[in-house]
Structure 1
Amino acid sequence: MPRAFARIAFTPRVLAAQETNGSRQAYRPLLEGADRDGPEPGSQLGPREAAFIAERNSFYQATVSETGWPYVQHRGGPTGFLRVLDARTLAYASFAGNRQYISEGNVAGDDRVALILTDYAQGRRLKLWGRASLLEVAAAAQLSEACIDPAYDAPVERLVLIRVEAFDWNCPKHLPRLYDKAQVRAIVEADRQRRKD
């Protein structure tokens, strides 16, 4: 578990809950002592995270309203629509949806977001924290070109740029194993081929 994650997630009340429930000692080293030179562990995406993100076709994004209520929204698109621009920056094209604009309104008041990306078939889950900004497509031509897949038939309303603050690979315990249609077809076809041979 990286230090950047602990710095954000382990608030005083979380630390108190860890103490009460007996897990505080295991996590204590994450917040103690000075970091070595260089980036804080868990604050920059590496090749493992970039590859995982590139394979996803959906994620969940949480924002916070000005009244303090969290809001979680599913975001979907073609595989790889959430782009890793560099070790600290993500971006995606926001497609037209139900037109409630709750996430957009929340980000306008508080730019903090949290994302959960899950590979149900392999039992892997990545949590990300960052700060989001919304960009108009016409005002960000180069980013639009990087984020918009012309083969995906959905209107793009805007672009979302996320500056990564921290990430953590989540425990897979209790994560159901689910497969999409393409994965099931591949499994069935591989089984058919195995039976032929």
Structure 2
Amino acid sequence: MAQTFLHTMFGPGSRALQEIAGSRGSYARMEAQAGEIDSLGAREDEFIAARDSFYMATVSEDGWPYVQHRGGPVGFLKRLGGNRIGFADYRGNRQYLSTAHLAADDRVALFLMDYPNQRRLKLIGHAQISEDPADIAAVMPVDYAAEPERAFVIDVVGFDWNCPQHITPRFTEAEIRRGTQPLLDELARLRARVAELEGEKP
């Protein structure tokens, strides 16, 4: 668990429950190693670049949590250098929930899921919304037809890799097709061979 994520997310209540559960000692040792802001590295880069969706949580002006699903082509969530990531925001249902929430409180939490490999990356940070053409161009996926309205730019302050327990493997249509294509090719070859042998019968 990365240090800034741990220090940010552990409050008095969770520490008290850790004491009761007997896990407080190990977490206290981790907290004692507090360092600078968690730095995204090559492992996180690779994981972020391979995603085609994620979940983003914001908080309303009344304190209600709101989780939104974001999707796009693989790699639509982009690293922008350092601990900064971003994505293009397209015209949708025009409720503007996340946009309005961030105007009042810029904190966000993201869940990035890799269902086939049962991996999950959690990110926390501060988000800003930009309509600057340069920012939009920086996060716009190549050859994507949708018209962006703005860019979401997030400065990540902490992250954590979760254990695979209870992540149910799920597969996209493309992943299933890649896995079954060799079998389909072999079936076609066998059918062609059967037809060939039947044609040779007197």
When normalised by structure 1's length, the TM-score is 0.89
**Matches for 1:1-197 after TM superposition, within 5 Å:** 1-33=1-33, 35=35, 39-40=36-37, 43-136=38-131, 139-141=132-134, 143-149=135-141, 151-192=143-184
Q: RMSD between aligned alpha carbons?
A: 1.8
* Percent identity of paired positions between Structure 1 and Structure 2: 45
| Equivalent pairs, count | 189
Structure 1: 4+ residue segments shifted above 3 A = 190-196
Q: Deviations over 1:35-85 (max 9, x none)?
A: 4xxx44xx1110110111001010000001121111100011111110011
Letter in 2 for 1:62: A
Where does structure 2 lack aligned partners over 5 or more consecutive residues? 190-202
| Secondary structure at the counterpart of residue 62 of structure 2 | coil
Compute the displacement of 1:154 (Å).
2.0
Q: After alignment, is 152-161 or 99-108 more displaced?
A: 152-161
Counterpart Cα distance in 1 of 2:34 and 2:171 = 43
Residue 33 of structure 1 deviates from its aligned partner by 4.7
Q: Distance in 2 between the 1:68 and 1:75 partners?
A: 22
SS of 1:169's partner is strand
C-alpha deviation, 1:153, in angstroms: 2.5
Structure with max Cα Rg: 2
Q: CA separation of 1:157/1:22 partners in 2, compared to 1, >3 Å: closer, same or farther? A: same
Q: Say if 1:70 and 1:181 are closer, same or farther in 2 by CA, change over 3 A.
A: same
With the length of structure 2 as denominator, give the TM-score of the two structures. Answer: 0.87
Other structure's SS at 2:116 match: coil
Cα contact 1:46–1:87 (8 A) shared by 2:
no
Unaligned runs of 5+ in 1: none
Q: SS of the counterpart of 1:92? A: strand
For residue 5 of structure 1, report the CA deviation from its aligned partner: 1.1
Q: 1:107 deviation in Å?
A: 0.3
Q: Which amino acid aligns with 2:27?
A: Y
Give the 3-state SS of the residue equivalent to 1:31 in structure 2.
Answer: helix
Q: For 2:60 and 2:184, how far apart are their aligned partners in 1?
A: 51
1:95–1:5 CA distance, 2 compared to 1 (3 A): same
Partner of 1:7, secondary structure, is helix
| Cα distance in structure 1, aligned partners of 2:33 and 2:76 | 38
Q: Which secondary structure state, in structure 2, belongs to the residue aligned with residue 90 of structure 1?
A: strand
Q: Distance in 2 between matches of 1:47 and 1:186?
A: 26
Shift of 1:146: 2.1
Aligned partner of residue 86 in structure 1, secondary structure? coil
